[in-house]
A and B are shown apart, each in its own frame.
Chain A
Amino acid sequence: NAGVMQNPRHLVRRRGQEARLRCSPMKGHSHVYWYRQLPEEGLKFMVYLQKENIIDESGMPKERFSAEFPKEGPSILRIQQVVRGDSAAYFCASSPSGYGTGGNEQFFGPGTRLTVL
Chain B
Amino acid sequence: AQTVTQSQPEMSVQEAETVTLSCTYDTSESDYYLFWYKQPPSRQMILVIRQEAYKQQNATENRFSVNFQKAAKSFSLKISDSQLGDAAMYFCAYAGNNRKLIWGLGTSLAVNP
Interface residues on A, range: 20 to 34
List B residues 23-58 near A (Cβ within 8 Å).
Answer: 32-33, 35, 37, 42-47, 50, 52
List A residues 88-107 near B (Cβ within 8 Å).
Answer: 89, 91, 93, 98-107
B46, B52, B100, most chain A CB atoms within 10 A: B100
List B residues 68-113 near A (Cβ within 8 Å).
Answer: 91, 93, 95, 97-106
Q: Which residue of A is nearest B100, CB measured? A: A45
Complex CA–CA separation, A51 to B50 (angstroms) = 27
List A residues 21-74 near B (Cβ within 8 Å).
Answer: 33, 35, 40-45, 48, 56, 59
Shortest distance between the CB of A79 and any CB in chain B (Å): 19
Q: Which residue of B is nearest A58, CB measured? A: B100
Does B44 contact A110, Cβ atoms closer than 8 Å? yes
Shortest distance between the CB of A48 and any CB in chain B (Å): 6
Q: Which residue of A is nearest B42, CB measured? A: A110
Does A105 contact B106, Cβ atoms closer than 8 Å? no
B33, B42, B98, most chain A CB atoms within 10 A: B98
A56, A91, A106, most chain B CB atoms within 10 A: A106
Does A103 contact B103, Cβ atoms closer than 8 Å? no
Could you show 10 A-B contacts with beta carbons less than 8 Å apart? Answer: A35-B103, A41-B106, A43-B101, A93-B101, A99-B97, A102-B52, A103-B95, A103-B99, A108-B45, A110-B44
Q: Please report A residues at the B interface, Cβ cutoff 8 Å.
A: 33, 35, 40-45, 48, 56, 59, 89, 91, 93, 98-108, 110-111, 113
